[in-house]
Structure 1
Amino acid sequence: MQLARTLIGMVHCLPLPGSPRWAGAMARVVDTALADAGALVAGGMDALLVENWGDAPFTPDRVDAPTVAGMTVVARELRRVYPTVPLGVNVLKNDARSALAVACAVGAGFIRVNVHAGAVLADQGIVHSDAYHTLRERRLLGADIAIFADVQGKHAVPLAPVELEQEARDLVHRGLADALVVTGRATGEPAPLGDVKRVRGAVAGVPLVVGSGADADSIAAILELADAVIVGTSLKRNGDVDQPVDEERVRRFVAAARRG
């Protein structure tokens, strides 16, 4: 997947089977995901990223089989309805191997990995990276699936101090990440442009993605520094992450990005 001012829209799944807020109707989960994806595609977004947003609280390591099954059902429907739209998969909090499995099964092009190097302290406790098994799993599957790795990602702090630039270099040169994602401290919070510049300087030539806080007012400045953006919250009704995607908000966002 080539990244060049690429706009990636979030598809936040409703709670999946086995999660605390699972409502017992997989058809509603699928229909809601398709409706959000439809608004994103109709509004002009370039790609989609689906994640198990509704499954909080998340496990710090491997998810259970019902989560993988549910994610696969949703992702397969997204691919069926929008076969030409690039699709990514993120299995929260940090199950890269399950994300790879889902992506491989449905023909998705990339996964997002929240902790691909080092270890962090998050609301799940200590979350460890597992690039060793992630890369070997990808090789075993024979899958051409890109890894988008967060650099000191949101809702977490490193267990030990580490410079942003050093983590970026480790992710690329030791973790073999295909693209890096820079975020704010939490969902919907802007990524500091200074951090984006620092990561760009540390690993010039590696695709760089801003992964939180983008909106119609900030997107032009973001795309002067980054190759792509992942956006969810600002495209939802009233800017509320738990509301449906608002197609008119998507259109305004895309128009602002294209003007830049």
Structure 2
Amino acid sequence: MKYLQLFGRLKSTVIGMVHLRALPGTPNGGSPVQQILEEACREGELYKKAGIDGVIVENMHDIPYSLCPGPEITAAMATICAAVRQACPGLPLGVQILACANQQALAVALAAGLDFIRAEGFVFSHIADEGLVNACAGDLLRYRKAIGAEHIQIFTDIKKKHSSHAVTADVSVSETAKAAEFFLSDGVILTGSATGQEADPRELQGVQRAVHIPVLVGSGVTEDNVEKFIEANGLIIGSHFKDGGDWRNGVNYDKVISFMDKVRRLRE
């Protein structure tokens, strides 16, 4: 399995988030790209030193998000991700570009030598806080094929957080996961309703029964509740690893160390 080859384990893979400062052209932007790059590399190095299993670089501070971020975002992300790749050799790295800029993320991953992307809106349309998001699986996988990036894995959100799914209320999260598997997702990501909100452990179990691809939990995992999610293939953690549990803050190395110590005990 590609997931095992990448991370070296099939369960309880821990993936930390590097939330970049606001990039050029965004409302809160203003920092030079070089400064943002250096901070991202520092956080990547902290994660690697703490023994984490992987990292995702994301433009989280680029609020409010656009469904069509400009070329300046793609260029900055490629430059920063290439630097993080160099700073963290051997560490599995991914990228997400908000919002729903999945083809751009693939292009960045290919250019920067990354291993995977996190993609939104893979199957089924929904209304996000950025606007209408339409399914992209067909176009995205054709693009991956066209640019020779088939070695880059695509992990896909299902029933994405910060979104209304009323239009697909008759489609359960397990059925959504099955559709993503049918449309060749490399793994599905289950979240709570918003950043930092805990996912439903019962939904996790249902999705795990429904599909034969990796199932990751993408929000709300903490040292206090990790027992509920330890059987997931992956745990994507942002807020809990930051000072004060707030995604806006920097990575707290001691919190990462403490979390990884507990995860290792649970794995045993």
- C-alpha distance in 2 between matches for 1:153 and 1:100: 19
5 Å-filtered alignment, 1:1-260, equals 1-2=3-4, 3-60=10-67, 62-143=68-149, 144-158=151-165, 159-161=167-169, 162-173=171-182, 175-203=183-211, 205-224=212-231, 226-260=232-266
Cα distance in 1 for residues equivalent to 2:239 and 2:86: 25
Deviation at 1:24, TM superposition (A): 4.0
Query: Sequence identity of aligned pairs in percent?
Result: 33
Distance 2:48 2:213 in 1: 26
Aligned residue pairs: how many? 256
Partner SS for 1:117? coil
SS at the partner of 1:49? strand
Amino acid at match of 1:166: E
Distance 1:223 1:230 in 2: 12
The answer to whether the 8 Å contact 1:220/1:256 transfers is no
**Contact residue 45 and residue 87 of structure 2 kept, 8 A:** no
8 Å contact from structure 1 (residues 217, 256) kept in 2? no
Q: Secondary structure of the equivalent of 1:186? A: coil
RMSD, aligned CA: 1.1
Give the TM-score taking structure 1 as reference length: 0.95
